[in-house]
Amino acid sequence: MSDSEKEPLIQSPPRRERLASERSTHSELSVHSIISSPDSTGCKICPTFLTELGYKEKLTVLFMCLITFVQCLCFSVLAPFFPKEAELKGLNSSETGMIFGVFELMIFLTAPIFGTYLTKFGILFTYISGCFVAGSCAIIFGVLKWCPAGNVFLAMCFLTRGVEALAVSAHLTASMAVIGYIFKERASLAIGFIEIFSGLGMMAGPPIGGVLYELGGFGLPFWTLGGITVTLAFISCLLMPSITDDSKQSNQSKLAMLRSPYILCVCLVIVCAAYGITFLDPTLSLHLENKFHVSTLYVGLIFLAAPGTYTFSAPLIGWINDTCKQTNIIIVLGTFLLAICNLFIGPAPFLNIP
Tens digit of pLDDT at every position of the chain (354 positions): 444 444 444 444 444 444 444 444 433 333 333 333 444 333 333 444 556 666 777 777 788 888 889 988 888 888 888 888 888 888 888 888 888 888 888 888 888 788 777 878 888 888 889 899 999 999 999 999 898 998 999 999 999 999 999 998 888 888 888 887 777 666 666 776 777 788 788 888 888 888 899 898 899 999 999 999 999 888 888 877 676 655 554 445 555 666 778 778 877 877 777 777 677 777 777 778 777 788 777 877 777 777 777 777 776 777 787 678 788 888 889 888 888 888 888 788 888 886
The answer to whether residue 191 is domain-embedded is yes
Specify the DSSP element, H or E, that contains 251.
Answer: none
**How many CA within 13 A on the CB side of residue 282?**
16
* CA distances in angstroms from 318 to 25, 321, 322, listed in the order given: 19, 5, 6
Helix (H, G, I), strand (E, B) or coil at 332: helix
The answer to whether residue 56 is domain-embedded is yes
**Number of folded domains in the chain?**
2
Helix (H, G, I), strand (E, B) or coil at 82: helix
The answer to whether residue 10 is domain-embedded is no
Q: What is the pLDDT of residue 154?
A: 92
The answer to whether residue 299 is domain-embedded is yes
Q: How far apart are the first and last CA of the chain?
A: 90
Q: What is the pLDDT of residue 245?
A: 57
| Helix, strand and coil in the chain, % to nearest 5 | 80, 0, 20
Asked if 277 and 233 sit in the same domain, the reply is no
Which CATH number does the domain housing residue 75 bear? 1.20.1250.20
Task: Identify the domain containing residue 158 by its residue range.
Answer: 51-243
pTM (two decimals):
0.66
Q: What is the pLDDT of residue 283?
A: 74
Asked if 204 and 295 sit in the same domain, the reply is no
Asked if 103 and 193 sit in the same domain, the reply is yes
Helix (H, G, I), strand (E, B) or coil at 246: coil
Asked if 290 and 206 sit in the same domain, the reply is no
Q: What is the pLDDT of residue 38?
A: 40
Asked if 139 and 66 sit in the same domain, the reply is yes
Asked if 89 and 112 sit in the same domain, the reply is yes
| Rounded Cα distance, 174 and 118, in Å | 7
CB 164 within 8 A of CB 134: yes
Closest CA to 298 of 80, 108, 31, 4: 80
The answer to whether residue 323 is domain-embedded is yes
The answer to whether residue 235 is domain-embedded is yes
Asked if 275 and 211 sit in the same domain, the reply is no
The answer to whether residue 26 is domain-embedded is no
The answer to whether residue 14 is domain-embedded is no
